[in-house]
Amino acid sequence: MIAFALRRTAQIIPTLFIVCVAVFALIRLIPGDPAQAMLGETATSEQIAAMRHTLGLDLPMPTQFLRWLGDALSGDLGQSIVNKLPVLPLVLDRAAVSGLIVLLAVSIAAAIALPLGLIAAWRQNSLIDFGVVAGAAFLMSIPSFWLGLMLLLLFGLRLGWVPVLGYVPFSQSFSGAVLSIVLPVATLAAVECGSLLRMARASAIEVLRLEYITHARAKGVPEWRVLVRHVFPNSFGPTWTLIGLILGHLLGGIAVLETVFTLPGLGRLLVDSIFARDYPVIQGCLLFSATVYVVVNLVVDLCYPLFDPRITIN
């Protein structure tokens, strides 16, 4: 188990290194002078020189990279050009908002999709199965931002059950906070439920055809026990991987939903920074999101042996 964990953890080092190189290279790839691009046409040459110095653009490239990497490893991702705040606390602050919504939404989606997918696979080609497959295809085809707008129109504007604008932190008001995130969480859970349902159903269908299931049934094991004890644990692997991919992917990827619900999340910070050409914040958001994606997938892989002992043997 420890050897497996060490080997898997070591695998992410080259990936993270290339992620760092890509994020570092990003602002060097921008056509023209990034300092000029950030300051605009009216900037004087002294201001541009000062900005180049602040960004470290006046140093040789390898020195720039090593300095940037060293700073990044020690948690210093620079300072925002727009509001002069340090980047890391800004990114962490926003990631907490996105993270909460994503975690809640994916948990709810998994709680609905796993049992439903199992039942659909168990009754493959029945009316229930057809309903589940059609429902999953329907959910997967709705753009999250459109569903969000529709829910906002119905529950926010027409029925007035939830506030239409703004985010309330939990530290300010618990009920206010719940009301401000209920629609984004519901939207995201509905959309992600589609892909989880499909995966849960497909992997359960594969397991249901294996010989040990026939054996268990022949032994007289009750059907519910066959499903819960034998099918579910062995078909959970692919869905678990998908949950990891979704979790890692969504953290920086729900900018559109955050825009619909005016939430101060990480995705929105990234998009706002792209508009403001706030390159240190853009780099910070990308580096953070990619790192979380890699680390979440590592954690997901490390959890595999908990429900599938064959992993450690292989």
Partner 1 sequence: MMRVRANAAIGATLIGGLAIVAIVAALWTPYDPLGIDLKARLHSPSSAHWLGTDEFGRDVLSRVMAGASASALVAASAVATATFLGAAIGLICGYLRGAIDRLVMTVNDAFLAFPAILLALAALVVFGAGRGAIILALSLAYTPSTARIVRGAALSVREREFVEASRLMGNSEVYTMFRHVLPNCLAPLIVLATSMFGWALLAESALSFLGLGAPPPAPTWGNMLAASRPYMQSAPWLEIAPGLSIALTLLGANLIGDALRDRLDPRMRPV
Question: Can you give the binding site for partner 1, defined by CB under 8 A?
Answer: 14-15, 17-19, 22-23, 26-27, 29-31, 124-125, 130, 133, 137-138, 140-143, 145-146, 149-150, 152-153, 157-158, 202, 205-206, 209, 248-249, 252-253, 255-256, 259-260, 270-271, 274-275, 279, 282, 286, 289-290, 293-294
- DSSP-based three-state secondary structure for 124: coil
122 CB contacts (<8 Å, ≥6 apart)?
A: 204, 208, 227, 231
Least separation, in Å, of the C-beta of 46 and partner 1?
Answer: 26
Least separation, in Å, of the C-beta of 281 and partner 1?
Answer: 11
Least separation, in Å, of the C-beta of 270 and partner 1?
Answer: 6
When the beta carbons of 1 and 137 are compared against partner 1, the nearer one is 137
When the beta carbons of 51 and 248 are compared against partner 1, the nearer one is 248
When the beta carbons of 177 and 294 are compared against partner 1, the nearer one is 294
Least separation, in Å, of the C-beta of 14 and partner 1?
Answer: 6
When the beta carbons of 61 and 137 are compared against partner 1, the nearer one is 137
When the beta carbons of 121 and 189 are compared against partner 1, the nearer one is 121
Following CA atoms 35, 36, 38, 44 in sequence, which dihedral angle do they give, to the nearest 10 degrees? 100
Query: What is the enclosing helix (H) or strand (E) of 261?
Result: none
End-to-end Cα distance, the chain: 10
Q: Which two tokens mark 186?
A: 């519901």
Least separation, in Å, of the C-beta of 29 and partner 1?
Answer: 5
- Count the neighbouring beta carbons within 10 Å of the beta carbon of residue 217: 13
- Count the neighbouring beta carbons within 10 Å of the beta carbon of residue 11: 12
**Residues facing 79 on adjacent strands:** 86
Give the Cα-Cα-Cα angle 225, 226, 232 (nearest 5 degrees): 95
